[in-house]
Amino acid sequence: MSLIQTENLTKVYGAGETAITALDHANLNVNAGEFVAVMGPSGCGKSTLLHLLGGLDRPTQGSVSIDGQPLAKLSDDALSQMRRRKIGFVFQFFNLIPILTSVENAALPLLLDGTSPGKAKQKASEWLTKIGLGERLKSRPDQLSAGQQQRVAIARALITDPVLVLADEPTGNLDTKSSDEIAGLLKQIAREWNRAVLMVTHDPRIAAYAECIVLMRDGKIVEDKHNG
């Protein structure tokens, strides 16, 4: 069974004449260890797809299952727990808490899950070291470069050992060199650490790191092809 399964996933914003169908009967399956890039022009529904997969928004119609668990049936608290334990998020603008250090930011999901601060921070340090930030554990976001901030965000996404990492334009705010590093890291997450990674991007060069590219237009998945 696939890790991500969607069936006729549809999201309509507004109602009546002003209704906009952001996602139109999308069907998608992603397996563990797979790195999928979602591409398409602005407004094609790729972010909406990502939000629905992450349980950040509820579909108008259709269903999403993550790791065999249908999201529709989950309460707000259960959904929060699912995001905490099974899904890691990477955002375009990093969304780090400015007053916390790298370690504290990366440790957040574990702390929210009730892990003791000592253990959470130790694990955060291990992940940060693994992705090359061993020297910047105590730095606050404003003391880090954009690429480094995104690495902290990735460490935060990985710390609970999620089955799925969702990345929304993770390189949208980075220079070319940092973009390549981050894309390489996401690939490594899928290949070496056997997570499903789904990344939304505008950039074909970054999409090329993925082994599968999903093309969208007007809310529909128009192509689902494997690289190479």
Judged by CB under 8 A, how many residues of this single chain contact other proteins?
Answer: 34
Residue 92 vs 178, nearer CB to other proteins: 92
Residue 208 binds other proteins (CB under 8 A): no
CB closer to other proteins, 97 vs 222: 97
Inter-residue contact 222 to 216 (CB < 8 Å): yes
What are the counts of helices (DSSP H) followed by strands (DSSP E) for the chain?
7, 10
Residues, the chain: 228
User: Does residue 37 contact residue 221 with C-beta atoms inside 8 Å?
Assistant: no
Q: Are 199 and 36 in contact (CB under 8 A)?
A: yes
Give the shortest CB-226-to-other proteins separation in angstroms.
28
**91 binds other proteins, rule: CB under 8 A:** yes
Residue 153 to residue 140: CA distance in whole angstroms:
12
Using the minimum distance from each CB to other proteins, give the nearer residue, 99 or 222.
Answer: 99
**Per rule CB under 8 A, is residue 143 in the interface with other proteins?**
no
CB of 30 to other proteins, least distance (A): 19
Assess contact for 36 and 213: CB atoms under 8 A. Answer: yes
Residues 156, 185, 190, 197: which binds other proteins (CB under 8 A)?
A: 156
**47 in contact with other proteins (CB under 8 A):** yes
Using CA atoms, how far apart are residues 211 and 14, in angstroms rounded to an integer?
35
Choose which of 19, 20, 97, 222 interacts with other proteins (CB under 8 A).
97
Region from 15-23, 24-32, 36-44, 75-83 binding other proteins, contact rule CB under 8 A = 75-83
Exposure class string for 110-144: b at 16+ Cβ within 10 A, else e = bbeeebeeeebbebbbebbeebebeebbebbbeeb
The answer to whether residue 100 forms part of the interface with other proteins (CB under 8 A) is yes
Residues contributing to the site for other proteins (CB under 8 A): 47, 51, 54, 56-57, 76-77, 80-85, 88-89, 91-93, 95, 97-100, 104, 108-109, 111-113, 117, 156-157, 160, 168
